[in-house]
Chain A
Amino acid sequence: MRVMGILLLDSFRMLRARRLFWVALCLSGLIAMVYASIGFDEGGVSVLFGLLSFESELLQMRAEESQKVYLLVFTNVVVPYWLGLFSIVLALISCASIFPEFTRKGSIDLALSKPPSRLSLFLGKYLGSLLFVLLQVFPFTVIVFVSLGARFGDWNPTVFWAVPLVVLSFSFVYAAHVLVAVWSGSTILGLFFALLVWGGSVIVEWAEDISYQVAYTVPQMGIEFEWDKGDYQEVEPNESSEDFMVRLHGVLDLARLSLPKTRAVGAQMRSLIKLDSTDGGLQGKGLLALLFEDPDDLVPEHHTAAARRADQRHNVWKDLGSSLLYELALAGFAALIFVRRDY
């Protein structure tokens, strides 16, 4: 444990010495402050603590609804786009040289000639890299927590779910980088591979999602598209569409299972971050559900049911578990290369 502490301290010192760490932290703080400055009132919405006000009929809300929208902006905009995308890219760039620098001749000798095992050194460096994201996300989440509490009196601890889940998302992407970086010693190659795997996995997630909608959700809603006319018609609801789409979805689902699921982690984050700890929060509800009194009045019941089935088709734990298995496989292989190599 002491060795792990030493390695984490070393990682912290390394991060602190990087300009990009401070740039990312400042950006993170800036975005958190902008988020904290958003306010809702009877006239509309304001930003920068009331400095700029925008009248809006849509966002004229009672305090409870504005609280919901405020939290939704966090879970549906800030978390997936800032924390789940841009901060991960920044973290990846910042941490990209950690392993190549560590394994460079003359540098690795010092660590390997000491008592800790190679596996401990690898894990120390790996966890140290995750520290970067932790240090970025945690202050951000604290600002959001304080902002929610101060504004609405809702001291909502569930926002802190963002911390482990964003770190988890990053670790899925980072594992691919580490494997190539340890194998090749190249920062650029590792970065390229990580972005390739990440991009590929997001595309597969999207493709699986779309194929499911076409294969199951659309038939269950009783909709048939007329592609040549660019129109659709209502038909008798059906369990699934033609075999080809079902088979295609099956293949994509299998491909999705073997890849990291960063979108699924994002979805899990949205379901875990609740408005308050007693009412079940925002689970299963979208922005429409909050803006309109009863969304079920607007769409037929079988449409809602099909959409709900689509939302709930993936088991969260299976998604997280298979993503972790993917990470374990890649990081394990990287560790094996690190442990067995002559430096």
Chain B
Amino acid sequence: MSEAALDVAGVEKTYRGGVRALRGVSLEVPEGSIFGLLGPNGAGKSTLVKILTTIIRPSRCRGRLLGHPIGHKATLRKVGYLPEHARFPAYLTGRQVIEYAAGLCGVKVSPAEVERLLELVGMSGGAEKRTIRTYSKGMIQRVGLAQAMVNEPRLVILDEPTDGVDPEGRYQMRQILQELRADGVTVFINSHLLGELETLCDSIAILKEGEVIRQGPLRELTAASCVFEVITGDAVPEETASRLREFGYFVGERQVTVEGADPAPLQRAIDTLRSGRVAILEVRKARQSLEDLFMESIMETQKTTGGGGLV
């Protein structure tokens, strides 16, 4: 995980008509990791993904994708991409979509390899012989993932990959992405499903109004605002509760919440409870969820910029 699969700086995109979709985005995605790009609607996530895959031209962009400048077509030979709302040619079968994608990547693919990929995404057993027009949304996503892997990519970019996929399919997809990471493949996911990203991602970036407002390893970002919860056997007496509140702790009926990763305030809270003869049943470290982090980041920037609600 030493080199960056993707390293961009100052990516800007202004569409005709003056809409500024990206305002100097800088990102670094370590090689062999799973990276999640989050943001509210209209934040510029899809624009960024499309710039990386040459579907959109940036107004300004410095950086490298797999060691080559952004926009270098030949690099895409080693990139797999599943677009958001993918519409594969309706007259092709699932098998033919994979062969078509392989052909466009300049890769010769054997029937056995196609079979393996279809099996991997749970699309074997006859469904792959039907044309796409008969597929459900979830089936299209599965075939989409298979075609994104057909060229043995070093980087897989997935735009809302689990959109329309059933729980079993999501589980399978998570397994596949984890296997890809284990094989050293970098996975770049753009998704709204924070719970899924939380279980998968090594690092994330949060984009808002075309700017990166948070970026880094997921563990560090969520740990930075971690919370300790002290569970008591009885209700905290009022005298002890007022002392705890003076220290800035939140006191519930049978719970005291201590914010921050620093253990000193936690020790002080425990001492205060013990001196008040309150039985302590459990002390647990409650890591901030990705959803909490996401909402906190969005709200923070709204406060600083005086912005309104989510786009």
Contact = CB atoms under 8 A, between A and B. Distances in A.
Interface stretch (B77-85, B178-186, B282-290): B77-85
A48 interface: no
A9 B17 CA distance: 38
A340 to B, nearest CB: 8
Contacts of A2: 103, 106
Contacts of A116: 73, 104
A115 B53 contact: no
A10 B83 CA distance: 20
A343 B50 CA distance: 8
Most buried by A among B57, B77, B88, B100: B100
Given A3-B104, A10-B89, A115 B74 contact: yes
Interface stretch (A22-30, A102-110, A184-192): A102-110
B92 interface: yes
A109 B105 contact: no
A113 B76 contact: yes
Interface residues of B, number: 32
Contacts of B92: 10, 13
Interface string A3-37: 10110011001101110000000000000000000
A9 B99 CA distance: 11
A62 interface: no
B103 A112 contact: no
Given A10-B100, A342-B15, A342-B57, A114 B91 contact: no
A113 B103 contact: no
Interface in B119-175: 131, 147
Contacts of B83: 106, 109-110, 113
A342 to B, nearest CB: 4
A111 interface: yes
Interface string A75-112: 00000000000000000000000000000111111111
B91 A17 contact: yes
B73 A3 contact: no
Given A6-B104, A113-B81, A114-B76, A108 B55 contact: yes
B225 interface: no
Nearest to B16: A342
B54 A110 contact: no
A114 B101 CA distance: 8
B56 interface: yes
B86 interface: yes
Nearest to B57: A342
Contacts of A109: 50, 53, 55, 81, 83, 86
B272 interface: no
Interface in B45-98: 50, 53-57, 73-74, 76-77, 79, 81, 83-92, 96
Contacts of A283: none
A107 B103 contact: no
Interface string A309-343: 00000000000000000000000000000001011
Nearest to B90: A17
B87 A104 contact: yes
A110 B101 contact: yes
A258 interface: no
B103 to A, nearest CB: 3
A109 B159 CA distance: 11
Contacts of B87: 104-107
A105 B46 CA distance: 12
A106 B84 contact: yes
B53 A14 contact: no
B2 to A, nearest CB: 27
Contact of A113 (B54, B85, B96): B54
A93 B50 CA distance: 32
Most buried by B among A9, A109, A112: A109
Nearest to B54: A112
A152 to B, nearest CB: 42
Given A3-B104, A114-B104, A115-B105, A107 B89 contact: yes
8 contacts: A3-B103, A13-B91, A17-B90, A106-B85, A106-B87, A109-B86, A114-B104, A340-B57
Given A106-B83, A113-B79, 6 more contacts: A13-B96, A18-B91, A107-B88, A112-B54, A113-B55, A114-B105
Interface of B: 15, 50, 53-57, 73-74, 76-77, 79, 81, 83-92, 96, 100-101, 103-106, 131, 147
